[in-house]
């Protein structure tokens, strides 16, 4: 394959994805392609299949039919052990809340995916700490999750999702538990951090202003994608819909 074709190849594709739960059709044949460093929001009413699509693309759930490819390799048919390894090494996850281990300090929470991959503790924590300053988390490495604000905890979760330098970050309602201003700031950092680190982003959200931070917004109804529009990921932070950033990015790990 030529270098040009490689560059243009989508990072992640889902083709003809169907998923049923009993008589409920959660996905009714979804085709989606996520480009390199592209941020894509998935919107739609409750029960329209957003989380099911994210779970199928992320290898958490197997579709009943259809295919999922990561960088040209089919991943939906590989065994659970290999899928689990792919999730740990090639994907990062940010959920609404409750994803940090309460008994571990923030730096060890971020280091955890590296340690699970066999990196020695000291090296993993050292690597983890490099993510704190760029995400506006200076001085918070020793805090336990209960000692962080909601926005700080989500930024620690973003660091943890990125620490293995994955190809794709999946986020399910990442700002759902935050107030509006903190949610927008968190979303801005999430989009910026994934792009700076060469990763793509797939975000499920109910909030159109959160979705507007993405490059593309997919609209779902009844297990299908019924529309696709461009977001405003390149909009200036001073745009009316996007409050001025409070956290200045000072270089990435
Ligand atoms: N594990 C499951 N068992 C049974 N039905 C399920 C399961 N997961 C999802 N469903 C059903 O599949 C459909 C799609 O669910 P999904 O969670 O993907 O929707 P969603 O758009 O993410 O909804 P929400 O915005 O409420 O989170 C719904 O009808 C839901 O009830």
Q: Look up residue 22 and give its two tokens.
A: 């009993």
Q: Which of 50, 60, 64, 177 has most ligand 1 atoms within 8 Å of CB, for mutation?
A: 50
Q: Look up residue 2 and give its two tokens.
A: 């030529």
> Quick check: 83 pLDDT over 60?
yes
**Cα–Cα nearest to 180, from 208, 201, 158, 157:** 208
Which residue minimizes the CA distance to atom 7 of ligand 1? 21
User: What is the reported pLDDT for 209?
Assistant: 86
Query: Pairing between strand 39-43 and 65-70?
Result: unpaired
User: What is the reported pLDDT for 6?
Assistant: 52
For ligand 1, residues with CB inside 6 Å are: 21, 24, 26, 44, 46-52
Average pLDDT over residues 97-104: 88
Tell me how far the alpha carbon of residue 74 lies from the centroid of ligand 1, in angstroms.
24
Q: How confident is the model at residue 242 (pLDDT cuts 50, 70, 90)?
A: very low
Cα 44 → chain centroid: 18
Tell me how far the alpha carbon of residue 44 lies from the centroid of ligand 1, in angstroms.
12
Query: Which range (45-59, 82-96, 222-236) has the least confidence?
Result: 222-236
Point out the ligand 1 atom lying closest to the alpha carbon of residue 27.
14
DSSP notation for 89-145: HTEEEE-SS--S-TTS-HHHHHHHHHHHTT--HHHHHHHHHTTTTTTT-TT-TT--G
Tell me how far the alpha carbon of residue 49 lies from the centroid of ligand 1, in angstroms.
6
Neighbours of 115 (CB within 10 A): 15
Tell me the domains of the chain and their CATH numbers.
Answer: 12-228 (3.40.50.300)
ipTM of this predicted structure: 0.97
**Cα–Cα nearest to 220, from 78, 14, 67, 35:** 14
> Quick check: 211 pLDDT over 70?
yes
User: What is the reported pLDDT for 236?
Assistant: 38
Q: Which of 18, 44, 49, 172 has most ligand 1 atoms within 8 Å of CB, for mutation?
A: 49
Q: Which of 18, 23, 24, 60 has most ligand 1 atoms within 8 Å of CB, for mutation?
A: 24
């Amino acid at each position: 394959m030529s270098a040009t074709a490689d560059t243009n190849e989508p990072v992640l594709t889902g083709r003809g994805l169907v998923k049923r739960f009993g008589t409920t059709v959660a996905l009714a044949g979804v085709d989606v392609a996520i480009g390199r460093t592209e941020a894509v929001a998935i919107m739609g009413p409750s029960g329209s299949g957003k989380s099911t699509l994210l779970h199928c693309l992320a290898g958490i759930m197997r579709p009943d039919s259809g295919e999922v490819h990561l960088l040209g390799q089919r991943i939906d048919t590989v065994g659970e052990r290999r899928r689990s390894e792919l999730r740990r090494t090639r994907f990062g996850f940010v959920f609404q809340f409750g994803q940090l281990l309460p008994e571990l300090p923030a730096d060890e929470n971020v280091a955890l995916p590296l340690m699970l991959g066999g990196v020695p503790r000291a090296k993993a924590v050292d690597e983890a700490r490099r993510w704190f300053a760029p995400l506006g988390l200076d001085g918070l490495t020793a805090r336990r999750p209960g000692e962080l604000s909601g926005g700080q905890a989500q930024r620690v979760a973003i660091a943890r999702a990125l620490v293995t330098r994955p190809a794709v970050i999946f986020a399910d309602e990442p700002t759902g538990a935050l107030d509006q201003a903190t949610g927008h700031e968190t979303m801005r950092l999430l989009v910026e951090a994934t792009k700076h680190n060469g990763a793509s982003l797939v975000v499920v959200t109910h909030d159109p202003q959160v979705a507007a931070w993405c490059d593309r917004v997919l609209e779902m109804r009844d297990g299908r994608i019924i529309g696709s529009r461009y977001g405003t990921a390149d909009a200036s932070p001073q745009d009316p819909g996007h409050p001025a950033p409070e956290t200045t990015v000072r270089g990435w790990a």
